[in-house]
Structure 1
């Protein structure tokens, strides 16, 4: 049975960046990160209870327990929120089969298209929860080289960043952007990690990108926010650009707007 909460706890517990006093003192350890007993002690819960959480035999811990685990695992705010949402989205009961996401409403696409056209000549695009392009202005499509040549249903920025080698040349801080794209993909789909469309995308990217497999398997979580990065144009010129992300939670989308860096 799927156990998203336990899988997340296990992945974060075994993160090699979680160093203990024992590992720093040179003591030999068979696993990286923290042992179950160490997490339980740091969180003030029994080792047996924590083990049941990881194994999926306990599926609805209290907010206080989750907050204590977030501190013990040194989770940032996005990951701590993700932990709570996993508990709420997967309460340990059988859920009905997920139905396929309905096609986008034409009126919604028209609204999003008006948004991205209004900010030209700044590159902009609107993405759904799978990072597939819902609407984009020409400058936004051009930012991800080759995206405009694909059928609309295949215009996915996460796929482009991970699988198109041109992305590593366009984006100077490519690894940071690609890692963030994977982390956002998990965060945006916490309410249903078994969704068939998500599963198909994850299987595709996992088969073709070792880095995606590593990052997805590490249960990285981070919601996209604004930042400054550097973009290389076709003539080799590098310019600092700032991207801002506007989340549209009611529609399950986000708009990314690229601006000149101040």
Structure 2
């Protein structure tokens, strides 16, 4: 049986250390790539485990291992996706790996900036804000003052009391966000990052623990949400656009359709 995963890793390892000759030294010797020991050490795995991968004796490495190997071997987006596909029957586990984090954030920031003044933000599979315009940040009181890595809409809904003051249909929205978390991660519910996030929210929110244990599954869809503002309650419709290749979704809030006094 062909060892596609091992052969791919071995080829990329051999290429990883290669550099084109200088223009003034066409005969300059090339390096011979990275050794197994170097790849293993840089990836945080044992040499024995990495050797088993190359030899086809281990065919189901975890996402964290593949992430590390892709980084060490400097795989471009398509090669990274191919690596995940060689691992096994999980074609969607490579979502979010097509671009590095910086480039992905740059792309998404350009999109949400283009739709101003409508509030908009882009979330990943754990509801972390990858990008947001100023109006989108304003929907979540306090988000503008947080570091980008601390902006998570599900954590905000479940643990920040301000969420219940802002969103009139808070329970419906929060319950839907929990259901979406499971739907967005259906391909790998044992993912360590997801497990850590779920464990945190279970400890901090009994309601989250109840809803998560209920195995609610539902993707976010368009709906009308009532938001409390300084001028009263405003009804706003939002649309959700999915970017499956990147494992992201963008929420675009449409101009308020009605309002009433508090």
Q: Gapped runs of 5+ residues in structure 1?
A: 1-93
Q: 2:183 & 2:210 partners in 1: Cα distance? A: 16
What's the TM-score once normalised by structure 1's chain length? 0.61
Larger Rg: 2
Structure 1 residues 6-48: Cα deviation after superposition (integer angstroms, max 9, x where no partner) = xxxxxxxxxxxxxxxxxxxxxxxxxxxxxxxxxxxxxxxxxxx
Using a 3 Å threshold, how does the CA distance of structure 1 residues 251 and 226 change in structure 2: closer, same or farther? same
Q: Which has the higher contact order (CA 8 A, sep 6+)?
A: 1
Paired residue for 1:241?
236
- Alignment counterpart, residue 191 of structure 2, candidates 195, 218, 225: 195
Paired residue for 1:125?
121
Structure 2 counterparts to residues 99-248 of structure 1, below 5 A: 99=64, 104-233=100-229, 235=230, 237-248=232-243
Paired residue for 2:247?
252
Runs of 4+ in 1 over 6 A off after TM superposition: none
Q: Is the 8 A contact 1:147 1:160 kept in 2?
A: no
Q: How much has 1:96 moved relative to structure 2? A: 3.1
Q: How much has 1:104 moved relative to structure 2? A: 4.2
Q: How much has 1:196 moved relative to structure 2? A: 1.3
Q: How much has 1:95 moved relative to structure 2? A: 4.6
Q: 1:143 & 1:150 partners in 2: Cα distance? A: 14
What's the TM-score once normalised by structure 2's chain length? 0.61
Q: Is the 8 A contact 1:228 1:261 kept in 2?
A: no
Q: How much has 1:206 moved relative to structure 2? A: 0.3
Q: Is the 8 A contact 1:145 1:166 kept in 2?
A: yes
Q: Gapped runs of 5+ residues in structure 2?
A: 1-58, 68-96, 258-262
Structure 1 residues 45-96: Cα deviation after superposition (integer angstroms, max 9, x where no partner) = xxxxxxxxxxxxxxxxxxxxxxxxxxxxxxxxxxxxxxxxxxxxxxxxx953
Aligned CA RMSD, in angstroms, stands at 1.7
SS of 2:122's partner is: strand
